Amino acid sequence: MSLYRSQISLFASGCRMRGQVLVFFMLCMTLASGVTASPDWLQSPEAWANERILYQKAVAELDSGAGNRYLEIRDALGSYPLRVDLDFAVRLGQLHDMTAEQALTFIQDAAGTPLASRFLVAYLRHKAQDRRWREFLDVLDAVPVMPELQCYYYLAQLSVGDQRAAYAGAATLWNVGFSQDDACDALFKEWIRELGPDDRLVWSRALKAFDAKNGHLIRYVKRFATPALQRDLEELAAVYRRPSRIEGDHHQVSERHTDILVAGLTRLAQLNPYRAYQAMISLSGHFEASDPKRDRVSKAIVKHSLFAERSPAPADWLQKQVQALKDDELTRIWLRKRIAEGRWRELTSEIGWLSPALRGQDRWQYWLVRSREAIGDDAIDGLWRDLASERSFHGFLAADRLAAPYALNDRGPPGPIPEFSVSTRRGVARAQELLALGERRESKEQWRHTINQLPRESRSRLGELALLRGWPDLAADAANAGSDWDRLDLRFPVAYWEAFEKAAVTQQVDSYLLLALARRESGLYALAKSKVGARGLMQVMPSTARTVLQELGERYGGAASLYQPEINIPVGSTYLAALMARFDGNRVKSLAAYNAGPSRVSRWTNHDMAFDQWADSIPFAETREYVQAVLAYRVIYRLRAGEPASLLTAEERQAAY
């Protein structure tokens, strides 16, 4: 029987009544918060309609060269925000004969846009390839950030006679655990010919290569070593291939030999943490009691033991190490195991191993109170109330325990949208005009560039402007960039509501759940693409879309079609509905499956845990955060829309996980 019973239908235009009500309600909340009008300095998109047509003509003219006709059109554009884009395209074709002064003039003209840095990179690459080093250096007042350009920079320093700076830079760039960009070859060749790495630098790079799992590089650096170091490099390479080799170690005590032991023990811990533990005990004479190298090995053994299904180090040793090492990453892993096992008494004290900053987070305060409750501590009502005043997944859980209302802790804008600098205005105007032309990715790049140039406390003020202009994803970007977590109007805008509501009716799921999922998945950016290839608002994988559409007898239009909300939303909602059918309507499990896959969730849910234990012991950190965020976002969206909200259903609370 097909998992996908409901047919996907493309959404017709036109606003439905409930969608109208929600959008109107959210708009009223925005107006009530004080965001009422766009500033005078930003013209409406309609004001540039004529210039937009001219701009498109100018782009067409550039295909045949920047002739007189192009120049006439370009001059007619006046202060049009995208005139700088035309100049950028023309200047790229003039790099060969361009002087440093001309380059700096354009970079200044493009200030406030990502075109400035993009042009600088193109200019530097061109001058480096032409070996015009003085023109290369004349546009720089600091070392470039990109390793490729750093290599060119130090080669330029060498060409103008500053050998000390050039060779120091070469040594730093060479000393990494991977192969540098090909642009570094010429610099390294000159440095090696004149000076080259000493044994200390060769050994340092070999250890970095070991850590980076780059065995080829360990062998490569051997050619630069003295005969004495070559023997140690051969041993390091042998331990890399077979880390258990250190178990029979009875060699001399030396700094480099200790480095080999640390590298080998760390690598052995990944394969068999118990054997690494035994080897470390037998080799303890090589380490001082407070040696940081010993701590590094201990951390590796503890970490891999906590994840190992077989061959972990002894439990009592692990417990002592987690407490002694005071490493928050290890402590959190340890505590999650305690949560999954229901070790309440231990949790009450072991949460204290976290750093004060982490210990004070809602999650760990929840588990501190929850564990105290489980062992019969009655003096916790005040702690539950404190936690219930927080807007978070765990704060909402605490509110449920007290049957108290959820706290939103919303905050509106401090006043009218400010004027901002000329550079910021230019960036906003360019982002708006790119949107008007359908260049959404370029617009997103410009927007993020603009907000990142502002002081953190000013960034969310641009989000207010985005909200008024109808740019929901850009509003959320601004609030997030400014860490303005209480600006819920900016962080949780409503977008594509009609499409979400139609999908919700078709699939019989909550429309706010779909909206919350899309907010978490893509930030409501329709062109979002993940590192693994998920696309669009609901971050649908192409393989998933193909399967869903084949089950429905619909044509799959390729990965690019998933950027269309009218395709992405029904496909994503159909897939979520199928997962909910598989997991008996349980949203906690279904959301985990949407993120990590249903097979994994089936393997993870055979432990008879309570829902909160399971939600905080999901093996994948991304999935843990995802499930909790989507459920909390749904509550926020519903409450802001004036709808009743409950974090979980009674069935979800009572289910075994």
Distance (Å, rounded) from C-alpha 207 to C-alpha 302? 22
- The percent of the chain in helix, strand and coil, each rounded to the nearest 5, is 70, 0, 30
User: Using CA of residue 369, residue 375, residue 379, residue 384, what is the dihedral sign?
Assistant: positive
Q: Decide if 521 is catalytic.
A: yes
Distance (Å, rounded) from C-alpha 286 to C-alpha 264? 13
Could you tell me if 86 and 59 are in contact, meaning their C-beta atoms sit under 8 angstroms apart? yes
Distance (Å, rounded) from C-alpha 480 to C-alpha 488? 11
- 237 burial (CB, 10 Å; 0-12 / 13-18 / 19+) is middle
φ, ψ at 306 (rounded to 5°): -65, -25
CA angle, 490 then 494 then 499, to 5°: 155
- 615 burial (CB, 10 Å; 0-12 / 13-18 / 19+) is buried
Q: Which of 521, 551, 622, 643 is catalytic?
A: 521
How crowded is residue 555: how many other Cβ atoms within 10 Å of its Cβ? 9
Distance (Å, rounded) from C-alpha 270 to C-alpha 308? 9
Torsion region of 539: left, alpha or beta (phi above 0 gives left; psi -120 to 50 gives alpha)? left
DSSP alpha helix (H) spans, 33-144: 49-62, 68-76, 83-92, 100-109, 115-129, 133-137
Could you tell me if 446 and 97 are in contact, meaning their C-beta atoms sit under 8 angstroms apart? no
Distance (Å, rounded) from C-alpha 266 to C-alpha 280? 10
Distance (Å, rounded) from C-alpha 604 to C-alpha 583? 13
Structure tokens at 314: 């002894």
The alpha-carbon radius of gyration of the chain (Å, integer) is 30
Could you tell me if 243 and 251 are in contact, meaning their C-beta atoms sit under 8 angstroms apart? no
Distance (Å, rounded) from C-alpha 477 to C-alpha 528? 13
Structure tokens at 294: 């010993």
Could you tell me if 446 and 113 are in contact, meaning their C-beta atoms sit under 8 angstroms apart? yes
Distance (Å, rounded) from C-alpha 350 to C-alpha 297? 22
Could you tell me if 615 and 627 are in contact, meaning their C-beta atoms sit under 8 angstroms apart? yes
Distance (Å, rounded) from C-alpha 153 to C-alpha 155? 5
**Which amino acid is residue 586, in one-letter code?**
N
Distance (Å, rounded) from C-alpha 630 to C-alpha 625? 9
| For the chain, counts of helices (H) and of strands (E) | 37, 0
For residue 76, the Cα-to-chain-centroid distance in whole angstroms is 42
Distance (Å, rounded) from C-alpha 236 to C-alpha 471? 55
How crowded is residue 46: how many other Cβ atoms within 10 Å of its Cβ? 8
Residues forming the active site: 521
